[in-house]
A and B are shown apart, each in its own frame.
Chain A
Amino acid sequence: MTLEPGSGPDGVPREPATPVAEPITPQDLIVSASPHVHAGQDVPWIMRQVLLALLPGLLAGLWFFGLGALRVLVLAVAGCLACEWACARLVKRPATLRDYSAVVTGVLLAMNLPSGSPWWLVLVGSAVAIGLGKAVYGGLGYNPFNPALVARVFLLISFPVQMTTWVVPQGPGTALDAATGATPLGAIKEAVGLGRTVADAGAPGLRDLLVGNVGGSFGEVSALALLLGGLWLLWRGVIRWQVPVAFMAATALVTGVAYLVDPAHYASPLVHLLGGGLMLGAWFMATDMVTSPVTRRGLLIFGAGCGLLTAVIRLWGGYPEGVSFAILLMNAATPLIDRWTRPRVFGEARKLYREADAA
């Protein structure tokens, strides 16, 4: 059927005349359920925002660790993209490279590795992140654990020596075979373990922790740059405040109490907040949407759990750093948290809800 006018503007009915506009046929029209408009954001947009927000931390890492860091970054991103492509190919699904999620995983994995990592370590990590961390579950959206952290922990357990050989930052000219040393948290843990005090560890000052002039995974060192990126993500509405705030608050609380009780053997909460992978974890890893709860109340619990576990592992666990383990453990708790924090239906009485849930 074509579009034709049925009556004249004078109000007198008349036979259909010539079409006043392009004829439209049903085939030309989209017919689908409501709504018919969309806010505009899509998954690639979200991923691009995350990448942009990671830029300051990334640049800081590249500045302090030089070419070694760049090499790790390029290898990790290329490895993740290749693995993503291969996995899609293997199960005969359309390639999903364009959603940028593999790039984000690659960048995050790189930032969680020492800048002196051997090439094979980075590639094994990429394969584990995409293959074991994501693809086996069905790809983006279905993975229970943060893929980059799965890879990091896999590498940490399998190759503990390579994963804890930290290059000492010497600026952009840092050589590929540069001198190595301990991370601030590692040094403190070692000193306390030997019966000495925190002060004996000779850990770098807060200023160095803030800008990132310390040993560590290459993307985790600059607390300030990471915080800037995180705040930007918050402002853009990509992440919600509950996770990073609860994460940092819980870590600060537990380490703060310990510090007040025994400052000789426990580092100040500021060291814990700015040191290690906390900023990277709280703003970029724990906020991974797929592996964290969907409700705001759930995110608060999730963030607080991450912070608490991080502090406990750092203070009393075997590892100097606990962010990765804490986030992975809370990832596992996410379905449970989602169940607990299911919102109340509009108009539903509190009591009614409990009864309905118990039934």
Chain B
Amino acid sequence: MKFSGGVHPAYHKDTAGLQIEAMPLLHRYVVPIAQHLGAPGKVLVAKGDRVARWQPLSEPVGFVSVPVHAPTSGTVKQVAALPHPLGRPMLAVEIESDGEDRPWEGLAPPADWRRLESAELRRAIQAAGVVGMGGATFPTHVKLSPPAEKKVDLLILNGAECEPYLTADHRVMLEQAAEVMEGLGLMMRVLGVTRACVGIESNKPDALEALRRACPPDVAAEFTLLETKYPQGSEKHLIYALCGRRVPPGGLPMDVGCVVQNVGTAVACLEAVRDGLPMTERVATVTGAAINVPHNLRVRVGAPLLDVLAHCGGVTPDVGKVIFGGPMMGIGQFDMDVPLIKGTSGVLCLRDDEAARFEGGPCIRCGACVDACPMGLVPSAMGLIAERFRFEELGDWHVLDCIECGSCAYVCPSRRPLVQHFKRGKAEWREILDGRRAKAEREAERQSAAAKA
């Protein structure tokens, strides 16, 4: 099934043919404690501590929380607020590498996922710090723990990789096909589902073929080649494309019986159980016209951007923008000392002339954004409302359903900064809603107190 809206940006998947190459060991890593959506963990190490590779640096606090682990052995230089890809400094552990890459003795023993119960598997996945590697970094064990009232019957493996430039998932599917499919089987076991769908955009038929061939006989998966259209990899649109179910506004995939997991996440889950290894590395595409030697890199989490760029031959003099993620939803970086983290699917270096400027002329009501919006919103009207700071009205226009895919701004002939407006609008509207809720609670309290008196 095809969703309406969406855009066809230039794909630039130039790195699709480059084998994944392991990034050499660095002399320094910066591991932020918060690399996932949810509560940041509690730090377990202090300045001067010696740590081993895979040793936990933090422990989860609560359910929606995961630990982070040391990417190599060395000494903790500092635990402090350090530059973070999300923009503002956040608590991180800086490790000076001792070059030995000595593994931690406390690693969980390797196990066979086919013999473990789903609760045990979930525990192992959480302990390994696995988060969704598509970019949203939601803790994977939480996604794999639907509440009892939500009957999940379908696991969807997301190999769409609809962001232009990025080829990390593509390479993982080609080079680690067997592990991807094993990981899928493992996650199906956790969820107790018997049906799985694998969705891959039509520009990667080789990935689909590789996965199909690598599929173990006991993993019941259906393979679908999807239309190459952005944002095909968005959870809601992927679900609709694969099985025709529509996630209601404000709802989650589990509301329609689905759980969506990224291909890289599948591998991370498998490694967490099969090898007992925590998530301390990921595959990231370093690409763009402004990087000298593009790569698909297996990079340890915490590697400073500066070193990654240097490993790829450095940037060209006409670099204009360095982005974590793809060109449609990635985050522009300003500090070259930020580390690559679990959610960093790529580093995109755009030339100055390639980087779009959204200076924001007047809306000419051409309707291109309305046609492009995959969520059925009216970005033109919402942009005007946001511009006037009428955030309550923005709520009525379903701003919370905006997935920030960027399709509207991408096609806007007036180059209006629509996504920026909606990001702010969502935050402001949420604040208004929170305020209302708090006020209602206070009111209720006051009334109950009055009733008692």
- Interface residues, chain A, CB within 8 Å of chain B? 1, 3-15, 19-22, 24, 26, 28-39, 41-43, 45-46, 99, 138-142, 240, 289-296, 299, 338, 342-349, 352
Contact = CB atoms under 8 A, between A and B. Distances in A.
Instruction: List the 7 closest A-B pairs by CB distance, nearest first.
Output: A21-B314, A13-B27, A141-B362, A35-B406, A5-B310, A6-B307, A11-B24
Contacts of A38: 356, 358, 409-410, 412, 415
Contacts of A10: 24
Nearest to B409: A35
Nearest to B99: A13
Interface stretch (B37-45, B142-150, B273-281, B331-339): B331-339
Nearest to A37: B327
13 contacts: A3-B336, A6-B304, A12-B25, A20-B310, A21-B292, A21-B313, A24-B322, A30-B357, A31-B333, A34-B406, A37-B356, A43-B414, A294-B366
Nearest to A298: B367
Contact of B330 (A22, A36, A240): A36
Nearest to B350: A36
Interface stretch (B119-127, B257-265, B368-376): B368-376
A4 B334 contact: no
A346 B413 contact: no
B3 interface: yes
B330 A140 contact: no
Contacts of A31: 321, 332-334
A46 B366 contact: yes
B216 interface: no
A21 B329 contact: no
A229 B212 CA distance: 50
A38 B328 CA distance: 9
Given A20-B292, A30-B355, A43-B361, 8 more contacts: A7-B27, A7-B310, A7-B311, A38-B415, A45-B413, A289-B364, A295-B367, A346-B236
A348 B420 CA distance: 24
A26 B335 contact: yes
A343 B376 contact: yes
Contacts of A41: 368, 411, 413
Interface stretch (B59-67, B174-182, B242-250, B442-450): B242-250
Interface of B: 3, 7, 9-10, 24-28, 97, 99, 164, 236-237, 240, 246-249, 251, 292, 304, 306-307, 309-311, 313-317, 319-323, 327-337, 348, 350, 352, 354-358, 361-368, 370-371, 374-378, 380-381, 398, 401, 404, 406, 409-415, 417, 419-420, 423
Question: DSSP majority for the A interface?
Answer: loop
A19 B236 contact: no
A289 B367 contact: yes
A205 to B, nearest CB: 39
A349 B256 CA distance: 13
A346 B356 contact: no
Contacts of A7: 24-27, 307, 310-311
User: Among the interface residues B355, B364, B398, B423, which one has the most CB atoms of the partner chain A within 10 A?
Assistant: B364
Contact of A345 (B27, B332, B401, B423): B401
A345 B375 contact: yes
A98 B407 CA distance: 26
Nearest to A13: B27
A140 B354 CA distance: 27
B413 A42 contact: yes
A20 B7 CA distance: 37
